[in-house]
Amino acid sequence: MTETISKGIDFKKIDEILQSYDYNKSYLIAMLQKVQEVYRYLPEDAMTYIGEHVEGLSPATVYGVATFYAQFSLEPKGKYEIRVCDGTACHVRGSMPVLNAIKNKLKLKEGQTTCENGLFSLEIVSCLGACGLAPVCMINDKVYPQMTSDAISVILDTLIKEEGAN
Ligand code: FES
């Protein structure tokens, strides 16, 4: 049975992943990790597909597992994944103004984590392991120490300009 690509989901690719784990439900977390590697998040259609094609699972079970673990994202991530630390050290040294500056710059509404054009996504984390450099942000793999709202605005403006976005 060959299924087509729907809403950008390549079910053949998902099948390859399931096959590499013998469609064994014990490997559900590993399967989800692989799917997330491909799409950078877990699309709903992919979770439903896994639930319907792996014996002993259901879409509800897959969804339940995916939402339980913080490592899984159910929303598409941006090309640039911004992580703002709001651990104790960063919080007392001003992570909130930095966070607010990012939200304003990206015009993120309450509860929205990825901006409209898909360029940036924002996540708040509890420690990035660089407390001596607080407040700290990361954009993809790069660490930005001692952030201020002005500094992060300049960084974002530069990336936006590089990408030719507004
Ligand atoms: S609390 Fe922010 S890096 Fe540790």
Ligand 1 pocket test, candidate residues 92, 131, 137, 146, most atoms within 8 A of CB: 131
Shortest-distance Cα residue to atom 1 of ligand 1: 87
For the segment 56-83, what is each residue's pLDDT rounded down to a tens digit? 999 999 999 999 998 898 888 899 999 9
Atom of ligand 1 nearest to the CA of 125: 2
Domain residue ranges in the chain: 8-68, 80-162
* Pocket lining: 139 vs ligand 1, CB cutoff 6 Å: no
What DSSP string describes 97-150?
HHHHHHHHHHTPPTT--B-TTSSEEEEEES--S-GGG-S-EEETTEEE-S--HH
For the segment 114-155, what is each residue's pLDDT rounded down to a tens digit? 888 889 999 999 999 999 999 999 999 999 999 999 999 999
Inter-CA distances, 157 with 65, 68, 120, 163, 164, Å: 37, 35, 12, 10, 10
Burial of 8 (0-12, 13-18, 19+ CB in 10 A): exposed
pLDDT of 5 > 70? The answer is no
For the segment 9-33, what is each residue's pLDDT rounded down to a tens digit? 889 999 999 999 999 999 999 999 9
pLDDT of 7 > 80? The answer is no
Cis peptide preceding 97, ω within 30 of 0: no
The yes/no answer on whether domain 80-162 falls in CATH 3.40.30.10 is yes
Indicate the DSSP class of residue 26.
G
Helices and strands: H and E segment counts in the chain = 7, 6
